[in-house]
């Protein structure tokens, strides 16, 4: 068990470009979450998957954002037509479906800078 | 809408002191509460999780308590060390898979050698 991994760790892009981030959860964790964190703030929930189904989306997730988890394993988060306000740390977390604890384990994050 | 507040926003203490970080939440209908540590530019490390039916959890020098009815949790750090310097985040989970965690803004802790 190597923990939650995210790639890339850093991404610098120009305004208007599309970017895609990947998250690999802890194996056998059915639940996968995406969060966004800006400087000096706590993470904010974006979206949640249970297996391959996207069950919840925050109002923060504009139509330029799309997330997928095609086979219920890794997930991707795509931002189209990036804006400077999208600059943030994007965090992924996973938790097991079985059991009642629902503890979430976070990856190292992808830091996005939009120039 | 759930809101989580952490006090103080920043704290600087000499090494060896015992300290308490506070977290309050507005909606007591929570499933659990997690405390995390975040080092600069890094992801979150889970420290302790308290389920709604529990009063406290302990791990090493850390002890977290939960008073669900009053919407409060505290994280107690005993015999602080410079390596404890980080931002500590409190987060609550409503349950049912919905909405993820709701976080506070964190307490930025500096332990002076």
| Residues in chain A within 8 Å Cβ distance of B104 | 42
Measure the N-to-C terminal CA separation of chain B; round to a whole number of Å. Answer: 41
Residues B56 and B66 sit within 8 Å (Cβ to Cβ): yes
Chain A to chain B, count of Cβ pairs less than 8 Å apart?
74
Burial category of A41 from C-beta neighbours within 10 Å (exposed 0-12, middle 13-18, buried 19 and up): middle
**What's the pLDDT at A60?**
82
Q: Which of A39, A47, A87, A102 to mutate to test the interface with B (most CBs of B within 10 A)?
A: A102
User: How far, in Å, CA of B41 to CA of B49, rounded?
Assistant: 23
> What is chain A's pLDDT, residue by residue, as a tens digit (115 residues)?
579 999 999 999 999 999 999 999 999 899 999 999 999 999 999 999 999 999 888 888 889 999 999 988 999 999 999 999 999 999 999 998 766 678 899 999 999 999 9
Which pLDDT score, from 0 to 100, does residue B83 have?
96
Q: Which residues of B81-105 are buried (b: 16+ CB within 10 A; e: fewer)?
A: eeebbbbbbbbbbbeebebbbbbbe
Q: Which of A42, A47, A48, A93 to mutate to test the interface with B (most CBs of B within 10 A)?
A: A42
What pLDDT shows up at residue A102?
A: 80
* CA–CA distance, A100 with B41 (Å, rounded to integer): 31
Chain B interface with A: residues with Cβ < 8 Å? 4, 31-32, 34, 36, 41-46, 49, 51, 89, 91, 93, 95, 97-106
Determine which of A8, A9, A43, A112 to mutate to test the interface with B (most B C-beta atoms within 10 Å). A43
pLDDT at A71: 86
Two tokens, residue A81: 């037509």
Q: Does any CB of chain B come closer than 8 Å to the CB of residue A25? A: no
β B86-93/B32-38 pair status: antiparallel
Residue B100 has its nearest CB partner, among A35, A41, A50, at: A35
Q: Which residue of A has its CA nearest to B104?
A: A42
| Sign of the torsion formed by the C-alpha atoms of A30, A3, B35 and A91 | negative
Q: Please report the pLDDT score of residue A58 as a whole number.
A: 87
Q: Which pLDDT score is estimated for A36?
A: 97
pLDDT digits (tens, 9 = 90+) for B86-111: 999 999 988 765 668 999 999 999 99
pLDDT at B17: 96
CB–CB of B97 and A103 under 8 A? no
Nearest to B2 by CA among A68, A9, A42, A109: A42
* Per-residue pLDDT at A56: 86
pLDDT of res. B96:
66
B34-78: pLDDT as tens digits: 999 999 988 999 999 999 999 999 999 999 999 999 999 999 999
Q: Can you give the pLDDT at residue A80? A: 97
The half-sphere exposure of B88 on its side-chain side, counting CA atoms within 13 A, is: 29
Q: Nearest CA of chain A to the CA of B51: how many Å? A: 7
pLDDT given at position A65? 96
Residue window 37-76, chain A: list those with CB within 8 Å of chain B.
40-46, 48, 50, 55-56, 58
């Amino acid at each position: 068990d190597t923990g939650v991994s995210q790639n890339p760790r850093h991404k610098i892009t120009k305004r208007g470009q599309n970017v895609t981030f990947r998250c690999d959860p802890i194996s056998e964790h059915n639940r996968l979450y995406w969060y966004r964190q800006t400087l000096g703030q706590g993470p904010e929930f974006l979206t949640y998957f249970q297996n391959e189904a996207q069950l919840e989306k925050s109002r923060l997730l504009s139509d330029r954002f799309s997330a997928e988890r095609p086979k219920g394993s890794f997930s991707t988060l795509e931002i189209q037509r990036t804006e400077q306000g999208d600059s943030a740390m994007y965090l992924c977390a996973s938790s097991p479906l079985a059991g009642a604890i629902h503890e979430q384990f976070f990856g190292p994050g992808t830091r996005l800078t939009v120039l | 809408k759930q809101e989580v507040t952490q006090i103080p926003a920043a704290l600087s203490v000499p090494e060896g002191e015992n300290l308490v970080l506070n977290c309050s939440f507005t909606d007591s209908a929570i499933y659990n509460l997690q405390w995390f540590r975040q080092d600069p530019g890094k992801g979150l490390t889970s420290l302790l999780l308290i389920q709604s039916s529990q009063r406290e959890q302990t791990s090493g020098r850390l002890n977290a308590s939960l008073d669900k009815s009053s919407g409060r949790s505290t994280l107690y750090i005993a015999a602080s060390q410079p390596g404890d310097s980080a931002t500590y985040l409190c987060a609550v989970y409503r349950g049912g898979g919905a909405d993820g965690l709701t976080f506070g803004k964190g307490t930025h802790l500096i332990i002076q050698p």
